[in-house]
Structure 1
Amino acid sequence: MTSMEAESVSTIVCTSKQTRFNIGTPNYRELDIEGLNIIVKSGSKSGAKGKAKAKSEGIEILSNAKLRLKAGQRYALIGRNGTGKSTLLKAVAEKLIPGIPEETRITILQQTDVGDVNADKGPVPAPSEGEDPAVLEEVIESATAKQEVQNEIDILSEGVDGGDPFGALRAFRKVHHGRLQKELFLKDKDARLRSGARGMQARKALITIEKKVAEFQSEYEQKDEDISPETVAKETSEAANMLADLQLQVEPSKLAETDSEAKKILTGLGFTESRMAQRVSSLSGGWKMRTALAAALLQDTDILILDEPTNFLDLLGIIWLQRHLTALAESSDPPTLILVSHDRDFISLCTDLLIIKDKDLAYFHGDLPTYEASRAEKKAYLTKMKEAQDKQKEHIQQTIQRNMREGKAKDDQNKIRQAKSRQKKLDDRWGVEVNAKGGRFKLNRDLVGHHLTARAEIDIPQDERPVSFTLPDPPELRFPGALISVEKVSFRYAGTAKTPAVLKDIDISVSMGDRIGILGLNGSGKSTLIKLLVDEARPSSGTVTRHPRLKLGYYAQHAVEALQNRGRADPQMTALSLLSAQESDDGLDEGEIRSLLGSLGLPGRLASDVPVCRLSGGQLVRLELARILRRRPQCLVLDEATTHLDYETVAALREALRGWEGAVVVVSHDRWFVRGVVEGVVGDGGEEREEDDRGGGGDIRRRLVCRLRAGAMSVLEGGLLVLYFYCHPG
């Protein structure tokens, strides 16, 4: 066993089984690790005693799990919020897990840290004044370490081309010294990761490099007069050879190829030429995340980890990324991909599922709908088998009891022996009738071990407690009419009359029961239209009218960030205290507020004792929904409400909104979510739709998929399918 502790506020302790056999040259795009345990401990340091008590003091993420990744496969990592997906990804990326070779190139995009693009290099430090790179420069540098190579070239060029006879030697030794320091760091980390035979080998390698560094240090500090002419000639030649090798890495043809590929990726992610030339520090958080995603995609890597890469992409960007990753997988030597996403359509590009559940890892070759159907089919089969066996067992038990009574009454020893024999069979050989391969179960073959006398019971897999949302029914309006009516609306930001209009002649109405989806690329005017609907902006021309008794619930795109800021400002604030302090005319008491929070997945002490600043992203989404649902609105306007949710919670929200009586306006790039809420599609197929399609007043629901482009809005009669082929007509 070996372990590694990450020195941070939360310490990740990883242990795994290590083979003592020489397995030859590893495939760096594969992982095969058994007995994996991951525990997250609070506190920065712990000694041996702390290690011994780690399991009891920390949060156990994985226990005796198997982490097996095949080269070139695409894995969708799925699991509920809080099961440890991000912790597992961090442990893999930072090579905290014993068994991951140090030479493995691992690239990670984490949605919570834009700076942490490459696990090997670590977070990119904030640029000092005058060193703030443009987007294109940042992507190329992050992916190729061009600046590091160029620095070595500059050092060697200055030494070789200078007039000092010792210049080339000094430059060569300076570059060699830097490389030795980097190697020392890696060997030290490897030695701390391992124990046993491999640990001894790693410590020997560390001692060797430490001696080499110490010996070279004396050479590095050697005075010119102590260096022989032969040494000067030898190392001057070596400096020239090293310089030539480095210059090959930055030759114009290779740089041009890298530059072209970087521009292609940035364009696919929505960057224009002008935005590529912008300084990274001037970008918003969403565009910085796209920059980090572009850098991750450009790198040559063995394992590529993408954690929610679609969060800041529009629909066209999501479709491009989906196609790019699929094309990457079809290349001659593709990296192994681990993908986390709540977008069920997007993860359909994956070949396998990696499921984290009950502190274990399970695998399934296929997509998510097939996995869910397979689980349901297996459960139904085992349930039917167990019901039949229980019925048969009850019949045999009754027969045994009858034979025992008759045998004792008539002193019939044969009947008594027969009854006892049947009872022994019932006790020792009752259970599963098929083996793991689906054939007939044989006791001497399929139940190994003389100490085992009984077959295993039929184990019906228990479903997790389903995620569910209960949305309060909207109050009735006293008189009919549209909830929101937008007529001939245009909008332009303050400026001259020549300022281009963000929205042009928009006409749309929202009535009870309506389901309206608003789609469009970033910058097409979606956010502006939403602000007009919820009365956060006024039109430049045209009118926006609302029903006088309308109660509106608005989920803003940055609602989670706003709650996080409030939580940091008031560390004692809980979900319950936040809602209790909220001004509202609903008259809800504490019990009713607790009931509302519980219906949305924030029950009991989670609502009353856990501070808002410690809630996860998914829990903050639930809290924001509770805030807007407390008033029992007739209309919900949801702007990217699924961003921080796991796929099961997205499915629960989709189901709850489908049957809700009020009106729903959705802005989302999650195609599966929009198809379910707006178009009424049931399941994943895209063809089956709701049979009962009546809204709050008994009228047929109006379902519209609206597309914004350059400020103009049109209705897509064919829904999302039409938009998909418009984006990619080929």
Structure 2
Amino acid sequence: MVGFTRLTALGARRWEPGAIKYATDGLCTSIFLNSVNIVKYLIMANILASCKQTRFHLLDENPSAEIDVEGLGIVVTSAASEDDAKSKAKGKSKAKTAGRELISDGHLRLKGGIHYGLLGRNGTGKSTLLRAMAEKLIPGISHATRVAILQQTDEDGPGGNASLRLEKSVLESVLSSDEARNEVRRTADFLSKSFETENPLEPVMAIRKIRCQHAEKMLFLAHKNANLKSGARGLQARKDLKVAEAKLESTREMVAQEPDSIDAGAIQTDTQEAVETLQTLQSQLEEMNHADMKKEARRILLGLGFKEDAFNKKVSTLSGGWRMRCMLASTLVQKPDIMILDEPTNFLDLLGVVWLENYLKQQREDSETTIVLVSHDRDFINAVCEEIVILRDQKLNYFRGNLAAYEQDFEEQKLYLGRMKEAQERQTAHMEASIQQNLKIGKKTNDDNKLRQAKSRQKRVDDRMGLQVSANGGRFKLNRDLVGYHFTCRAEIEVPTDERGATMSLPDATELRFPGPLVSLEAVTFQYKKNDRAVLDDINLVVHIGDRVGIMGLNGSGKTTLIRVLNGQIPPSKGKVSTHSRLKVGYYGQHSVEELQERGRMEPGLTALGLLLAESDGTLNEGEVRGLLSSMGLQGRIASDVPVGKLSGGQLVRLALARIVWSAPQLLILDEITTHLDFHTVTALATALSSFNGAIILVSHDRFLVRSVIEGKRDTDHKLDEDFEGLEQEQEETNSRRRSVYVLKAGQLNEQTKGVQQFEQSLVKRVQKMLAI
């Protein structure tokens, strides 16, 4: 269900057996009845959501701050499968919908004011679940619940770029993002203009149109309510439905009434109601306090990196990254009941990330907004989130604590349950051997005691083996924890498995025939124009084989310009750039994924296998290319059958990496490589880069990746793979790697003696001053 502003164009209605259908402005709603459960299907943009029968109070204007939806199912369908779903809803059978099932019999539970981190591998349905919540496709989210969402994509609808007011200035666009306030203001303006005319019937017709629109909304909700409830509540809901239908018919008749036939009493009554409604709306606008909202919007925009002189720029003139920051500001300023943030740190520099981190932590104390966020930045999740929601195997699991605590608990559970299962398997094997021995002896000697003993032990093996703890963590008791005639034995012990997805590995660098630096910058200065300020000012940098160099800095500080000079894409204005004569460079740019997406659109049939075969130009055969793609996590049919245009963001990153490493370069230059990755893949990437025997120059705002790859540190809060090679392994070698973290500021490249921590601490001080304003 979308915002009610889209429901005012309600079209013709028709009744069908077992279903109620509406068509309105791109929205199709179908409600199928079932004798056991009442399951509601809402189809919008190919997302279909269902749940069990509930006691949701959909018409409550002051809903609970909590969401508790059991039996949640989410399926992504195509337009054709929607028709198939409707045709299969016959009699009392549940509709079987063709499509990809993302969540099956899940339990969505959100408490008011809690900050949740949503985890799951790429492609498991995190973004789909968030959009279903924002569009209120999920039953149990009341129409009165205010939801704001920031999405990764540029789609239409909430969170998409289409929601930005491109013709307005940055500040005006942010201030106009609150749809609840906009609706109140539009209605107030509509009524106010009716009083400005000389026609005394204008206020009468205006208030009648407003009543009609409200009646249409209430009818839609009444239909929804009646088909979600059964029994006594269902009977009352159906009575309310008839009242809503009669109310809408009455208001339509009043709107259609000829002005000449309206009596004086009705004019006086409706005019008085219009006056009172206008006063109420104006009071609501005053309570929303536009001045405070404007002050908060300016504070947020400054925190996200906008300068004062950029507030009056039109949104249409901004680049994609700054538009995303504008959208993030539009989401933060609304103060909704539920705020959904899907990868909010993607287009922020480290200062913006630290500011947002501290801002959301401050909201825990000052606001009752529930926040659900997805992020690949581990430090960000740990700092902001109080609870973790894990989307895995089409189920939603919950953990009270941050990501670091969850990973520690996961490892402890894996160890505990693994030992329990091993011990129980040994016990079961011993008991089964004893059973066979007793059966053999009992049958041979006709010893009934031995046979009874064997039968008793067999029953114990069948019924008493399994999980030794209850759902509450206490010791399992048969008469308490195994209730119900259909349960005959305990649950099997399931040892949790790591969910890090496919691993990644990089080919070794090509050997150099003679030693020497791979690349060196000597007193390099760069200016785009002769009289402009120097973007790079007297830069000196030498990189040898095996070195690890991290470059950090704020957006606009010149990091990408430095990388382009290093890579030979642009010549320096002054100074000298020298490279090894046999140097091979693998360069991953910020727009590598976008370039692959564009290539996929231009060549719809192009696959990852075909792309690498063409680019290697016979150097690699099909088997070698498949092996390379498999080592990057693109196995089997994904490599050979799925078009490049259909690959996910994470898969495109893997393909882009494969494109730059197939020639075994000695130097990898990686510019913001984590943008499209989930944190499992970031961990796999960190492990793969740690064991690369060539040199790495990494430009990133991801503190975890820089600490692990460049500094070689195993974070105590983040578990890395056993194959990770860091400082511990280097201590055993005679020649340790050179590891340096630099910050580019005002054209100068400054080495951080304490690494990422030193840069982060300097930014925290700046953020604290900004938040104190």
Global fold match (TM > 0.5): yes
1:615: Cα distance to partner? 0.6
1:151: Cα distance to partner? 4.0
Q: How far apart, in 2, do the equivalents of 1:166 and 1:639 lie?
A: 65
Alpha-carbon distance change, 230 to 658 in structure 1, aligned in 2, over 3 angstroms: same
Q: How far apart, in 1, do the equivalents of 2:252 and 2:734 lie?
A: 85
Map 1:313-332; keep pairs closer than 5 Å.
Answer: 313-331=348-366
Map 1:117-196; keep pairs closer than 5 Å.
Answer: 117=158, 123-124=162-163, 132-143=167-178, 148-177=183-212, 179=214, 183=217, 187=221, 190=224, 194=228, 196=230
Q: How far apart, in 2, do the equivalents of 1:711 and 1:278 lie?
A: 26
Match of 1:87 in 2: 128
1:383 is aligned to 2:403: no
Q: Which amino acid counterpart does residue 373 of structure 2 have in structure 1?
A: L
Amino-acid identity (%): 47
Residue pair 1:488, 1:543 contacting (<8 A) in 2 also:
yes
Alpha-carbon distance change, 296 to 23 in structure 1, aligned in 2, over 3 angstroms: closer
1:153: Cα distance to partner? 4.0
1:407: Cα distance to partner? 5.7
Alpha-carbon distance change, 229 to 406 in structure 1, aligned in 2, over 3 angstroms: closer
Alpha-carbon distance change, 289 to 205 in structure 1, aligned in 2, over 3 angstroms: farther
Instruction: Write the deviation string for residues 220-266 of structure 1: whole angstroms up to 9, x where unpaired.
Output: 34444333333333333333333333334445992211110100011
Q: How far apart, in 2, do the equivalents of 1:703 and 1:427 lie?
A: 58
Tell me the secondary structure at the aligned position of residue 642 of structure 2: coil
Residue pair 1:157, 1:243 contacting (<8 A) in 2 also:
yes
Match of 1:241 in 2: 276
Match of 2:625 in 1: 593
1:707: Cα distance to partner? 0.6
Instruction: Write the deviation string for residues 156-176 of structure 1: whole angstroms up to 9, x where unpaired.
Output: 333324444334434444555
1:306 is aligned to 2:341: yes
Q: Which amino acid counterpart does residue 30 of structure 1 have in structure 2?
A: E
Match of 1:358 in 2: 393
Q: Which amino acid counterpart does residue 36 of structure 1 have in structure 2?
A: L
Match of 2:522 among 477, 487, 500: 487
1:279 is aligned to 2:320: no
Alpha-carbon distance change, 15 to 196 in structure 1, aligned in 2, over 3 angstroms: farther
1:483: Cα distance to partner? 1.0
Match of 1:726 in 2: 762
Q: How far apart, in 1, do the equivalents of 2:463 and 2:221 lie?
A: 55
Tell me the secondary structure at the aligned position of residue 75 of structure 2: strand
Q: Which amino acid counterpart does residue 669 of structure 1 have in structure 2?
A: H
Match of 1:659 in 2: 691
Match of 1:336 in 2: 370
Match of 1:577 in 2: 610
Match of 1:69 among 110, 123, 147: 110
Match of 2:748 among 709, 712, 719: 712
Residue pair 1:675, 1:686 contacting (<8 A) in 2 also:
no
1:39 is aligned to 2:71: no
Q: How far apart, in 1, do the equivalents of 2:322 and 2:669 lie?
A: 24
1:644 is aligned to 2:648: no
1:702: Cα distance to partner? 1.1
Tell me the secondary structure at the aligned position of residue 250 of structure 2: helix
Q: Which amino acid counterpart does residue 594 of structure 2 have in structure 1?
A: E
Residue pair 1:155, 1:175 contacting (<8 A) in 2 also:
no
Q: How far apart, in 1, do the equivalents of 2:506 and 2:538 lie?
A: 34
TM-score by length of 1: 0.90
Q: Which amino acid counterpart does residue 298 of structure 1 have in structure 2?
A: V
More displaced 10-residue stretch of structure 1: 446-455 or 631-640: 446-455
Match of 1:48 in 2: 86
1:179: Cα distance to partner? 4.9
Q: Which amino acid counterpart does residue 132 of structure 2 have in structure 1?
A: A
Q: How far apart, in 2, do the equivalents of 1:371 and 1:531 lie?
A: 40
Map 1:133-532; keep pairs closer than 5 Å.
Answer: 133-143=168-178, 148-177=183-212, 179=214, 183=217, 187=221, 190=224, 194=228, 196=230, 208-251=243-286, 254-331=289-366, 333-348=367-382, 349-402=384-437, 413-415=448-450, 417-449=452-484, 452-464=487-499, 466-494=501-529, 497-532=530-565
Residue pair 1:487, 1:507 contacting (<8 A) in 2 also:
yes
Residue pair 2:626, 2:635 contacting (<8 A) in 1 also:
yes
More displaced 10-residue stretch of structure 1: 457-466 or 707-716: 457-466
Alpha-carbon distance change, 536 to 202 in structure 1, aligned in 2, over 3 angstroms: farther
More displaced 10-residue stretch of structure 1: 163-172 or 662-671: 163-172
Q: Which amino acid counterpart does residue 171 of structure 2 have in structure 1?
A: L
TM-score by length of 2: 0.86
More displaced 10-residue stretch of structure 1: 469-478 or 15-24: 15-24
Instruction: Write the deviation string for residues 188-209 of structure 1: whole angstroms up to 9, x where unpaired.
Output: 8846984656777667656544
Tell me the secondary structure at the aligned position of residue 72 of structure 1: coil
Residue pair 1:28, 1:103 contacting (<8 A) in 2 also:
no
Q: How far apart, in 2, do the equivalents of 1:95 and 1:391 lie?
A: 51
Q: Which amino acid counterpart does residue 552 of structure 1 have in structure 2?
A: V
Residue pair 2:165, 2:315 contacting (<8 A) in 1 also:
no
Instruction: Write the deviation string for residues 654-689 of structure 1: whole angstroms up to 9, x where unpaired.
Output: 111112111111111111111111111113448996
Residue pair 1:4, 1:14 contacting (<8 A) in 2 also:
yes
Tell me the secondary structure at the aligned position of residue 475 of structure 1: coil
Tell me the secondary structure at the aligned position of residue 298 of structure 2: helix
Residue pair 1:115, 1:292 contacting (<8 A) in 2 also:
no
Q: How far apart, in 2, do the equivalents of 1:247 and 1:641 lie?
A: 50
More displaced 10-residue stretch of structure 1: 22-31 or 502-511: 22-31
Residue pair 1:474, 1:633 contacting (<8 A) in 2 also:
yes
Residue pair 2:106, 2:395 contacting (<8 A) in 1 also:
yes
Q: Which amino acid counterpart does residue 64 of structure 1 have in structure 2?
A: D
Tell me the secondary structure at the aligned position of residue 143 of structure 2: coil
Quote the RMSD (CA, aligned, Å). Answer: 3.1
Match of 1:622 in 2: 654
Alpha-carbon distance change, 155 to 434 in structure 1, aligned in 2, over 3 angstroms: closer
Alpha-carbon distance change, 112 to 206 in structure 1, aligned in 2, over 3 angstroms: farther
Q: Which amino acid counterpart does residue 86 of structure 2 have in structure 1?
A: A
Alpha-carbon distance change, 225 to 657 in structure 1, aligned in 2, over 3 angstroms: same
1:535 is aligned to 2:565: no
Q: How far apart, in 1, do the equivalents of 2:173 and 2:664 lie?
A: 48
Match of 1:556 among 573, 589, 592: 589
Residue pair 1:3, 1:13 contacting (<8 A) in 2 also:
no
1:103 is aligned to 2:134: no
More displaced 10-residue stretch of structure 1: 190-199 or 251-260: 190-199
Q: How far apart, in 1, do the equivalents of 2:719 and 2:104 lie?
A: 41
Instruction: Write the deviation string for residues 521-553 of structure 1: whole angstroms up to 9, x where unpaired.
Output: 111111111111111211111111111111101
Residue pair 2:522, 2:540 contacting (<8 A) in 1 also:
yes
